[in-house]
Chains A and B, each alone.
Chain A
Amino acid sequence: MRSLHPRIRIVWVLQAALSAAMLAAIVGAVGVFFLDLGLWLPAAVFGALFVLFGVHSLLRYRVWRYEVREDAVYLERGVFTRVKTVVPFVRIQHVDSRRSPLERATGLASTVVYTAGSRGADVTVPGLTPEGADDLQRRLKALAIDAEGDDAV
């Protein structure tokens, strides 16, 4: 079982700050323009949400685990609802490696695994170093080709 790269916490906490700021801005706009309230409201909202989201991100990091097994990828994640997924290599349709601006800034990357199932795109492994992501992508690809089933659906 492997955990994600510790630096993913920075990405997630920054994301938490971003969404907290966005919600605070909405609340603040409503407060200032319609209710004549001061700027303390958005500040308080931002503080509370940031703490909430930030703690969630940290917990999320602690829960996240993944493993490349002999014949499947295994993932464990989720703070409130714990989700454990087994994706057999035979079922892998294609593998992406992806980098969002925040990930690029922190030097991280994600790998996305697609299956023909209806929840295929759900399987994302974030918090890898770019080399790690490329390596995982290559390995999964090789294993998927090696494991070829008669047809993928």
Chain B
Amino acid sequence: MSRLHPLSIPYRVAQSILGYAPLVFFVAIASGPALGAGGIALTLLGIVVGLVGIVAWQVAYFRRFEYETTSDTFDIRSGVVSRRNREIPYRRVQNVDISRNVVQRALEIAELRIETAGGGETEAILRYVGYEEAKRLQNELRRRKRAETTAETGDADAEPVENDEQLLYEITPEDLAVLAVASFDLRLASFLSVLLSLAGPPVLIELLTDLPISPFLVVGAVIVLVVVASALLSGISAVLSTYGFRLTRSGDELRYERGLVQRFDGSIPLDKVQLLVLRENLLKRLLGYASLAVETAGYAPGQGGNVGSESAVPIARRETTWAIARDVEPFEEFEVVRPPKRARRRYAFRYLLALGVLAGLVYAGTLALGFEMYWYAVLAGVPLAPVAAHYKWKSRGYHVGEEHVVARTGFWHRTTRVVPYYRVQNAIHTQTVLQRRWRLASVLIDTAGTGSLVGGDPRAIDLDQEEAAELRETVADRLQGALRERKREAEREERERRIDRALPRLEFESERP
């Protein structure tokens, strides 16, 4: 039976004091004057009692929290008042993640999370163990999980895999600089603009009445400021969270470390990979960079509010990223099949229609407000419509490979999703009323990945309807084929193992006489 790190007591005490401090502060402020000197004394007494209570609770928590690695499960016994005993079979462990913030690093303690595939919740959290102990546990759990899975298939005495970590990628300062630039997200800018527009008008009116400058200049300056501020913010946050990124491969696991202030240390089990997501937005493409995310079933590392941290490669040269992706899932070189040319015409029509509607609205605004708003300026966008349509068309496509199906979308945020056939859950073919008029259809390939919950499914958009039907059937057929293939493979391996086990004995017996 092991315990948490003793330093976790003062750390947790400090944490809960910080948590309660605002509440105590406000209560004291609000009730102090009304109660007079006696009240103040009472409040102080309350604070002291509260402090003693917190310390006692945390000491009890520490004393009542025990964990153990048994022969086939990881056991945790916890709870001060209501006790909970939890046993996690090693085979079900998917990820063991370690995270440390600055204070925890100074104290050399860490938070350890154990994730299983079931449910969206973390299965077990150890707050906090020593960093060395966390590392040891991470290795131990991994080793036992592997021993368990190989023991099940019959070769318990298989190669003892220790220290086989192989460095796949380490972030360089240049990469980090590119990441800071490329992570600029217009969505953040628009969010800030919304905030400003809520707070802005009263301030602006104040300003505009006093200032001799044109109001347009002020608005322009504000917009520039917003964009610069959001670029800085997103750049800084990207650098902080990916500083010192390292990706290694160890047997059937990818492991990564990252973060400047808060340090993360996690793993991605390769046998649970559902799909690969390669992201190359326009900026990254121009600079020759790409990033890679790996989605596993039911769990993406760093779910808890750390959006974007499921990335296996936050940023690297295009070739490196694709090479690592191929290392994870060996898919071949490919050229995507584009939608038919008439899809491009459709997009151009759509843009023209949107421009027309916009011009109409501006014109109506001019009539209604009696203030010239230059509706014809909108029409300057007309020559751009075919260009935009062309790039939209060009950035979409799909590819049916040997063992994988690939779908690509997005010009500004080009995303290529690679799914092995044996991970396909079902194929969904959709056709809206408008698509039917153009004889187009889309195919969505559903997997058990987590990204699909937020609309991140691989989808081939606007194919010819015949082609779409064929893709749907092909994907379903190949799934069956891939599953049969996997089964045969497993059977062959099993047979080889049996022969391996049988053969030495034969040699031994033949030597004996």
Chain A residues engaging chain B, CB cutoff 8 angstroms = 71-72, 78, 80-88, 90-91, 115-120, 123, 149-150, 153
Asked if B287 is at the interface (CB within 8 A of a chain A CB), the reply is no
- Quick one: which of A72, A85, A118, A150 has the most chain B CB within 10 A? A118
- Given A82-B430, A84-B429: A118 and B448 interface contact (C-beta under 8 Å): yes
A83 in contact with B428 (CB, 8 Å): yes
**B457 / chain A contacts, CB cutoff of 8 Å:** 118
- Given A85-B429, A116-B448, A117-B452: A150 and B473 interface contact (C-beta under 8 Å): no
**A78 / chain B contacts, CB cutoff of 8 Å:** 430
A117 in contact with B448 (CB, 8 Å): yes
Q: How far, in Å, is B273 (CB) from chain A's closest CB?
A: 11
A-B interface, 7 closest residue pairs, ranked by CB to CB distance from nearest:
A117-B425, A117-B446, A118-B452, A84-B429, A153-B297, A116-B448, A82-B431
**B446 / chain A contacts, CB cutoff of 8 Å:** 115, 117-120
**B479 / chain A contacts, CB cutoff of 8 Å:** 88, 90
Complex-state Cα separation, A104 to B426, whole angstroms: 30
Complex-state Cα separation, A90 to B479, whole angstroms: 9
Q: How far, in Å, is B315 (CB) from chain A's closest CB?
A: 27
Closest to A69 in B: B476
Q: Which of B3-11, B132-140, B480-488, B500-508 contacts A (4 or more CB under 8 A)?
A: B480-488
Complex-state Cα separation, A149 to B448, whole angstroms: 15
**B274 / chain A contacts, CB cutoff of 8 Å:** 153
Asked if B427 is at the interface (CB within 8 A of a chain A CB), the reply is yes
Q: How far, in Å, is B211 (CB) from chain A's closest CB?
A: 45
**B431 / chain A contacts, CB cutoff of 8 Å:** 81-83
- Given A81-B433, A118-B452, A153-B117: A91 and B425 interface contact (C-beta under 8 Å): yes
Complex-state Cα separation, A100 to B50, whole angstroms: 54
* Interface CB pairs A-B, < 8 A, 5: A84-B469, A86-B427, A86-B429, A116-B425, A118-B449
The 8 A CB mask of B469-501 against A (1 = contact, 0 = none) is: 100110110011001001100100000000000
**A87 / chain B contacts, CB cutoff of 8 Å:** 426
Closest to B443 in A: A84
Complex-state Cα separation, A118 to B446, whole angstroms: 7
- Given A115-B426, A117-B452, A153-B297: A82 and B483 interface contact (C-beta under 8 Å): no
A81 in contact with B432 (CB, 8 Å): yes
Complex-state Cα separation, A114 to B417, whole angstroms: 24
Q: How far, in Å, is A132 (CB) from chain B's closest CB?
A: 22
B432 in contact with A80 (CB, 8 Å): yes
**B452 / chain A contacts, CB cutoff of 8 Å:** 117-119
| B298, B430, B448: the one within 8 Å of A81 (CB) | B430
- Given A116-B297, A116-B448: A85 and B436 interface contact (C-beta under 8 Å): no
A86 in contact with B473 (CB, 8 Å): yes
Q: How far, in Å, is B3 (CB) from chain A's closest CB?
A: 36
- Which residues from 279 to 334 on chain B have a C-beta closer than 8 Å to any C-beta of chain A? 297-298
Complex-state Cα separation, A115 to B446, whole angstroms: 10
Q: How far, in Å, is B166 (CB) from chain A's closest CB?
A: 27
Q: How far, in Å, is A117 (CB) from chain B's closest CB?
A: 3
**B427 / chain A contacts, CB cutoff of 8 Å:** 85-86
Q: How far, in Å, is B327 (CB) from chain A's closest CB?
A: 22
- Given A81-B431, A117-B447: A86 and B453 interface contact (C-beta under 8 Å): no
**B428 / chain A contacts, CB cutoff of 8 Å:** 83-86, 119
**B475 / chain A contacts, CB cutoff of 8 Å:** 86
Complex-state Cα separation, A87 to B429, whole angstroms: 12
B436 in contact with A150 (CB, 8 Å): no
**B453 / chain A contacts, CB cutoff of 8 Å:** 118
Q: How far, in Å, is B329 (CB) from chain A's closest CB?
A: 16
Complex-state Cα separation, A88 to B490, whole angstroms: 21
A149 in contact with B483 (CB, 8 Å): yes
**B423 / chain A contacts, CB cutoff of 8 Å:** 153
Closest to A90 in B: B483
Q: How far, in Å, is A13 (CB) from chain B's closest CB?
A: 22
The 8 A CB mask of B413-426 against A (1 = contact, 0 = none) is: 00000000011111
A83 in contact with B425 (CB, 8 Å): no
Complex-state Cα separation, A117 to B451, whole angstroms: 11
B476 in contact with A88 (CB, 8 Å): yes
Complex-state Cα separation, A85 to B422, whole angstroms: 17
| B298, B429, B483: the one within 8 Å of A150 (CB) | B483
B476 in contact with A83 (CB, 8 Å): no
Closest to A152 in B: B448
B430 in contact with A88 (CB, 8 Å): no
Complex-state Cα separation, A71 to B422, whole angstroms: 14
**A153 / chain B contacts, CB cutoff of 8 Å:** 117, 272, 274, 297-298, 423, 448
Q: How far, in Å, is B195 (CB) from chain A's closest CB?
A: 32
- Given A115-B446, A118-B457: A82 and B426 interface contact (C-beta under 8 Å): no
Complex-state Cα separation, A118 to B425, whole angstroms: 9
Complex-state Cα separation, A123 to B426, whole angstroms: 10
**A120 / chain B contacts, CB cutoff of 8 Å:** 425, 446
**B432 / chain A contacts, CB cutoff of 8 Å:** 80-82
B426 in contact with A117 (CB, 8 Å): yes
A82 in contact with B436 (CB, 8 Å): yes
Complex-state Cα separation, A128 to B480, whole angstroms: 28
**B486 / chain A contacts, CB cutoff of 8 Å:** 150
Complex-state Cα separation, A71 to B478, whole angstroms: 12
**B430 / chain A contacts, CB cutoff of 8 Å:** 78, 81-84
Closest to B482 in A: A149
Closest to B447 in A: A117
B476 in contact with A86 (CB, 8 Å): yes
- Quick one: which of A115, A116, A120 has the most chain B CB within 10 A? A116
Q: How far, in Å, is A145 (CB) from chain B's closest CB?
A: 15
- Quick one: which of B424, B427, B428, B486 has the most chain A CB within 10 A? B428
